[in-house]
Amino acid sequence: MPQPLASLSVRRTIGSLSVAAALLCVAGAAAKADEAVDVIIRGGTIYDGGEGKPFVGDVAIRGDQIVYVGKSGRYSAGKIIDAKGMIVAPGFIDPHTHADSFIRSPDKAVRVNAAWLNQGATTVMIGVDGSGTPDVAEDSGKLAASGISTNIVPFVGFGPVRQRVLGQDARAPSPAELDRMKALVAKGMCEGAVGLSTGLFYAPQSFSTTGEVVAVAREAARRGGIYDTHQRDESSYSIGLLGSVKEAIDIGREAGMPVHFAHLKALGVDVHGQAGAVIAAIDAARKAGVDVTADQYPWLASGSSLDASLLPRWAVDGGGPALLKRLDDPTMLERIRGEMQENLRRRGGATALLLIAQGFPWTGKTLAEVAAEWKLDSRDAALRIIRQSVEAKDQGPRGGGTAVASFNMAQADVDLLMKQPWMVTSSDGSDGHPRMFATFPEKYVRYVRERKVIDLATFIRQSTGRTADIYKLDRRGYLRRGYFADVLVFDPDEYAPRADYVRPRELSVGVRKLFVNGALAVDDGRATGVVAGRALLRPRPAGCAAPLPG
Ligand SMILES: [Zn+2]
């Protein structure tokens, strides 16, 4: 039996858009003949999120639960949805998002998280790449109470944990400092985090040794958490892609926990063609008993920043002010420019970096174009943008002009990774990159319909049940009786992305109905404004009653 979900429930409605009864009723028996339910979705082609074949049938919803999925139910309902010709699936689960600009917006209308709703996503993971706060209960509580339309699943992140104890320093923690870091991870897990996320590529997390990560990851492992990582190197920056894959697997093995690779890819010309070797390493680990999985987004460009993709890590030791000091020192500047040259080559040159931060003079131009305009070497153009971004952050919130789409993946690698039985769909959705608004339909149109890399059933499985299994989400990801009613109805002919790299904020189309916890969140392609999303917190694990270490 699944354990009861400790969920912070919000069932506010806006205006007259009233929702079905909020009572949590666990369906004890199958629906009887002509049983009254709230909603019937009738005659759609049902993909239930599992390995089975699709079939034409009905889905019935009462309150926030699915009470029937099958071919021969008899009900009466206040709302009957004719889904003939439509695909009916569990709401999509996005295991890697940077949805903060939506769900943390002061604007109610923005908080409905339309970028994800319009793709059919009902649940998003937050606090990824090591960014999640250890104050999970407080943060999730605030988010849920503020009124959001998708469910959220929080990670506790290695970044804030390390920063709170060590600041931006490039050094190892003392034993006492390590204990404090472990206590913060334990706190996050005890408050309901799904696991520990890391972003070992990013400073200051990049300053950690493997042993340090294992030590803090154990605190998540002993409380049932997953290790979810933006790995140290997706390219040839430091230990190399394959060395980095091995490190993550070692961390999982040593800490005793499942390992999940976020946005798995072979980034940059040096590692193109290495997808096969990555797959072999993961398959070998799985055979040896380490539970290894991954997610991936269906785009050839990653989203990053000029500083993260071009600057050597030592140059940012100590944060922005320390970086500016180094840039002002001619000897240091030359060293930095030298290493930037190599990083540019690795990324495919200045023409492969598209500047995507919105609202800047350079928005929508490649670094090469901006450099030509400014009559600067492309490295110096990048440094000018980085410098203004750091200075802007010192003066207020308007920083972040450094965001780039970095065209650095090979199609063959993306295709091969997508076909693996341990792969799921993620958006890594972040501001300025179309993946935030269009990942799921992009994958459907380009990879299922046009190029036939995977079939529709695999696409849906990779976006629902398999993802729920990886993160052990309680009664999510499947269309099954007794599960929460996160249900997607989409038109297979019209479901499509509208966003691209130049216009990244266009809403996707083709979602006919989307239910979140039984409430209608999208109706004929439009967000209804209903905010039925919940914080999906893990029940308090064993090992939390005792005083925390440190
Ligand atoms: Zn990441």
**167-222: pLDDT as tens digits:** 998 999 999 999 999 999 999 999 999 999 999 999 899 999 999 999 999 999 99
546 pLDDT band, cuts 50/70/90, is low
Centre of ligand 1 to C-alpha 97, Å, is 9
Taking 50 as the threshold, does the pLDDT of residue 57 lie above it?
yes
The predicted model gives 298-312 an average pLDDT of 92
Centre of ligand 1 to C-alpha 64, Å, is 32
Centre of ligand 1 to C-alpha 99, Å, is 13
Of the chain, the percentage scoring pLDDT greater than 70 comes to: 92
* Entry pTM: 0.87
Centre of ligand 1 to C-alpha 18, Å, is 38
Centre of ligand 1 to C-alpha 433, Å, is 13
Q: Determine the Cα–Cα distance for residues 402 and 399; give it in Å rounded to an integer.
A: 8
Centre of ligand 1 to C-alpha 326, Å, is 27
Per-residue burial over 224-236, b = 16 or more CB atoms within 10 Å of its CB, e = otherwise: bbbbbbbbbbbbb
Centre of ligand 1 to C-alpha 426, Å, is 11
Centre of ligand 1 to C-alpha 484, Å, is 29
Centre of ligand 1 to C-alpha 34, Å, is 49
pLDDT digits (tens, 9 = 90+) for 369-424: 999 999 999 999 999 999 999 888 765 444 578 989 999 999 999 999 999 999 99
Phi, psi for 45 (deg, rounded to 5):
-85, 115
Q: Determine the Cα–Cα distance for residues 151 and 149; give it in Å rounded to an integer.
A: 7
- The amino acid sitting at 507 is L
Centre of ligand 1 to C-alpha 196, Å, is 14
**226 vs 25: which has the higher pLDDT:** 226
Centre of ligand 1 to C-alpha 62, Å, is 38
Centre of ligand 1 to C-alpha 262, Å, is 6
Centre of ligand 1 to C-alpha 302, Å, is 9
Centre of ligand 1 to C-alpha 191, Å, is 23
Question: Other C-beta atoms within 10 Å of 247: how many?
Answer: 19
Centre of ligand 1 to C-alpha 199, Å, is 6
Centre of ligand 1 to C-alpha 428, Å, is 7
Centre of ligand 1 to C-alpha 96, Å, is 8
Centre of ligand 1 to C-alpha 501, Å, is 18
34 pLDDT band, cuts 50/70/90, is confident
Quote the pLDDT of residue 430: 86
Centre of ligand 1 to C-alpha 212, Å, is 20
Q: What is the mean pLDDT of the chain?
A: 91
Taking 90 as the threshold, does the pLDDT of residue 90 lie above it?
yes
Q: Determine the Cα–Cα distance for residues 496 and 446; give it in Å rounded to an integer.
A: 9
Per-residue burial over 165-178, b = 16 or more CB atoms within 10 Å of its CB, e = otherwise: bbebeeeebeeebb
Dihedral through CA 60, CA 61, CA 67, CA 68, nearest 10?
20
Note the maximum CA span of the chain: 81
Centre of ligand 1 to C-alpha 522, Å, is 28
Taking a C-beta distance cutoff of 8 angstroms, is the pair 173, 223 a contact? Answer: no
Taking 70 as the threshold, does the pLDDT of residue 550 lie above it?
no
Residue given tokens 């190029």 in the structure block: 451
Centre of ligand 1 to C-alpha 305, Å, is 11
Centre of ligand 1 to C-alpha 129, Å, is 5
